[in-house]
Amino acid sequence: MIKFLGAGKETTRILAVVGLVALNSSVVMADDGEKAPPTALTIDHILGMKTPADVRISPNGKWVAYVVRRLDEKKDKGFSQIWMSSTDGKNTVPLTASYTNASSPRWNPDGSTLAFTGKRGKDKDAKTQVWLLDLRGGEAQQYTHVKQGVSGFAFAPDGGRMLLTIKDPKPEDVEADEPPEPKKDKKKKRGKDSPKPWVIDRLQFKRDYVGYLDRRRTHFYLYDGEGDPVQITSGDFDDRDPQWSPDGSKIAFVSKRHGDPDGNDNSDIWTVEADADAKDHPLTQVTSNKGPDHSPSWSPDGKSIAYVTGIEPEKLWYATDHLAVIGADGSDAKLLTKNYDRMVSNPTFATNGKAIYFVAADQGNRPIKKINVKSGKLSTVTEGEIAVRSFDVGEKDQTAIIRSDHNTPYDVYLQKKKKTMRLSNLNKELLNGVKLARAERLKVSGWNGEQVESFVYYPADHDTSKAYPTIFVLHGGPVSQHDTSFDAWGQLYAANGYIAVLPNPHGSSGYGQEFSYALNRQWGTPDFADVDAIADHLVAAGISDSDKLGVGGWSYGGILTNYVITKSTRFKGAVSGASEVNHRANYGHDIYQHFWEVELGLPWENIEAWESMNPFNDLGKVTTPTLVIGGKEDWNVPIQNSEQLYQVLKRRGIETQLVVYPGEHHGIRRPSFQRDRYERFLGWFDKYVKGEMQP
């Protein structure tokens, strides 16, 4: 028997049958028994979707555990639940209750238990802890009792120990553990819950979703289930991404430990002995590259470490992230993807140690690639028009994958050599009978005559004899890409009678470093030229109605929208989401001071460079009705610039609205606000692009 965690009463079910999900749900039928006509995708469908994350194969290769995330509009919050699917494709079982939050599933190497992080009970101040679920049955047991909570964990190879990632406690939490001092007088003291001032002395002094930063850092601890965890890293540095060596003697991790870590991006790979009984824990620096090194992965024999490296830090996020391998002692560093000009991530050694798997951003796809460590031979593991979010390699290199395509939301798959099996179908019932858009690649000649690519979403009932109202959906980044995964915005616009264009203009990843670096110091120049050229092509081809064009995006997509409306009057409606419009005003207010300084110099010294690409200076040219929207607590791209954009447009008499979501950061998480955002984007474009009367 297994008892599933719940905020209220517990539910007990037999493991073999609990929550069994059939992958072949029935076809929706009309009342008269006939097959129901297809329906269009709606916001209800989008908010009702389930999304998998953090996939992990069991040691015996028979199960795959993963997180399933969903939104609950009645409770107005999101939930994450741990599920597992059998690798024969027959069974899918939820392991934790649907109204608790559980994440980071990790198998004990002996396969006896599954650990995860979460909170339990009704205590609103409860901290995240590690829990253990015995696969033979029984209730999940709390494994850690860390006062400030646990940020992450990793089983040792022998399964008897765990590495915990813990942030330093607050001073008041330390003081609370000490005996109270004798009362000396009766002076009035500040109440326990009264706010205290932030006292800040760091160069990087704020972070979105965190707030103002103090000197509390994140470090590693060893824990065997008894007593207190033993700290093995320390100092005024943050440590992250710990990875056990195969023999359990060392931990490889990432940290910035040279100079002021707030003033550079030079992270390195380090190792520390995993010995709780040692008097001290000296570190070994493995990499010494001047750029960022991260994402370590041990070879099966423990002699080398694969990692991702940036070899041109002066080019910031425009530079290609390469795959490298180095001896565990720091010797014989080797760049493996020097001739593969694509962003790489998530390196993982093959079980025989002869090759390394990784995910690449490659021309709108996100495939898993495989490279031979010795020969450098590169091959594609996941062929076709798909996007991989994450993967886990098990014995004999069977690989669990979370992947998607234009018409299939993310799901869990298992790949053995060239054979692929679908293990989950989380949204089959939800999308049964829904007719989705058709997506096609489009290439046109853009800035400087260079080819630029887009994904064009056509309505399901598209009539080639008609020109359609068209929305340009601009991606964030700037170094990112629209890919071949299911795109809710593209599908929603197409379902509402628009053609949706998802361009990958200059600055996008997936097309090489030169293509990305073209945006350096000239935001809004090459990428606007690309968008304009795509619009020219679609109008000339009779695909898009020249009098019904709209543009919008979030983050850098909103920033590019601001450039577009200052350079062109062809767009009849625009939505600027979580954007910047006055870059110099953002210095010291957003979280990017280091990146601004590297790209543009100090704003009080290199004024010309800053002002040359500042769209605020051209807001007097805007004629496009523009909806301005963002989160009140956004410290990534603060709402301040959105307010300035709105103020100028309102002052000039341009049709505009400012929408600010209380309590929200850069991403909008509350389901009711997500619905509101979808409705406002659609409503704005319906009014100003289609010209429809609003109720």
- Does residue 183 carry a pLDDT above 90? no
Q: Is residue 30 part of a domain?
A: no
Q: Would you state the pLDDT for residue 557?
A: 98
DSSP 12-55: EE-TTTTT---SSPPPPB-TTSSBPPPEE--HHHHHH--EEEEE
Lowest mean pLDDT among 31-40, 413-422, 484-493: 31-40
Q: What angle do CA 252, 64, 485 make, to 5 degrees?
A: 85
499 φ, ψ (degrees, to nearest 5): -90, 130
DSSP 363-378: TTBB-EEEEETTT--E
Q: Is residue 80 part of a domain?
A: yes
Q: What share of the chain is helix, strand, coil (3-state, %, to 5)?
A: 20, 35, 45
219 confidence band (pLDDT: 50, 70, 90): very high
Mean pLDDT of 496-524: 97
- Does residue 185 carry a pLDDT above 60? no
Q: Residue 349 has which token pair?
A: 């050694």
Are 507 and 477 in contact by the 8 Å Cβ rule? The answer is yes
694 confidence band (pLDDT: 50, 70, 90): low
Q: Would you state the pLDDT for residue 632?
A: 97
Tell me the percentage of the chain whose pLDDT exceeds 90. 82
Beta strands per DSSP E along 529-570? 544-554
Are 304 and 328 in contact by the 8 Å Cβ rule? The answer is yes
pLDDT tens-digit series, residues 326-370: 999 999 999 999 999 999 999 999 999 999 999 999 999 999 999
Tokens 């489009």 -> residue:
442
| Nearest CA among 441, 501, 492 for reference residue 468 | 501
Q: Is residue 663 part of a domain?
A: yes
Q: Work out the burial of residue 204: count CB atoms within 10 Å of its CB; fewer than 13 is exposed, 13-18 middle, 19 or more buried.
A: middle
- Does residue 402 carry a pLDDT above 50? yes
Q: Would you state the pLDDT for residue 2?
A: 31
Q: Angle of helix 556-567 relative to helix 526-540, nearest 10 degrees?
A: 70
Asked which of 78, 106, 134 is the last residue of a domain, the reply is 106
Q: Would you state the pLDDT for residue 34?
A: 55
385 confidence band (pLDDT: 50, 70, 90): very high
Q: Would you state the pLDDT for residue 332?
A: 94
682 φ, ψ (degrees, to nearest 5): -60, -45
Mean pLDDT of 377-398: 95
Q: Work out the burial of residue 657: count CB atoms within 10 Å of its CB; fewer than 13 is exposed, 13-18 middle, 19 or more buried.
A: middle
Q: Is residue 210 part of a domain?
A: no
Tell me the percentage of the chain whose pLDDT exceeds 70. 91
- Does residue 12 carry a pLDDT above 50? no
Q: Would you state the pLDDT for residue 60?
A: 93
- Does this model's pTM top 0.85? My answer is yes
- Does residue 516 carry a pLDDT above 70? yes
Asked which of 48, 71, 106 is the last residue of a domain, the reply is 106
Q: Would you state the pLDDT for residue 138?
A: 74
- Does residue 480 carry a pLDDT above 90? yes
Mean pLDDT of 599-625: 96
Whether omega for the bond prior to residue 59 falls within 30 degrees of 0, making it cis, is no
Q: Would you state the pLDDT for residue 21?
A: 35
Q: Is residue 654 part of a domain?
A: yes
Mean pLDDT of 397-411: 97
Q: Would you state the pLDDT for residue 18?
A: 30
Q: Would you state the pLDDT for residue 64?
A: 97
Q: Would you state the pLDDT for residue 152?
A: 96
Domain count, the chain: 2
Q: Would you state the pLDDT for residue 1?
A: 27
Q: Would you state the pLDDT for residue 9?
A: 31
Q: What is the CATH number of the domain that holds 632?
A: 3.40.50.1820
- Does residue 411 carry a pLDDT above 80? yes
- Does residue 3 carry a pLDDT above 70? no
Helical ranges in 156-295 per DSSP H = 171-176
Asked which of 86, 106, 126 is the last residue of a domain, the reply is 106
Q: Could you tell me which residues are beta bridge partners of residue 661?
A: 631
Residue 302 makes CB contacts below 8 A (sequence gap 6+) with: 245, 246, 247, 328
**Side-chain half-sphere exposure of 254, counting CA atoms within 13 A:** 17
Q: Would you state the pLDDT for residue 279?
A: 84
- Does residue 11 carry a pLDDT above 50? no
Residue 169 DSSP one-character state: P
Which residue range is the domain that position 587 belongs to? 435-690
- Does residue 26 carry a pLDDT above 70? no
Q: Would you state the pLDDT for residue 191?
A: 58
Q: Would you state the pLDDT for residue 623?
A: 98
DSSP 325-341: EEETTS---EES-TT--
Mean pLDDT of 84-92: 93
Q: Would you state the pLDDT for residue 368?
A: 97
Look at strands 152-155 and 162-167 and give their pairing: antiparallel
Q: Is residue 537 part of a domain?
A: yes
Mean pLDDT of 283-305: 97
Q: Is residue 87 part of a domain?
A: yes
Instruction: Look at 5 and 693; give whichever has higher pLDDT.
Output: 693
Q: Would you state the pLDDT for residue 181?
A: 57
pLDDT tens-digit series, residues 30-63: 445 555 567 999 999 999 999 999 999 999 999 9
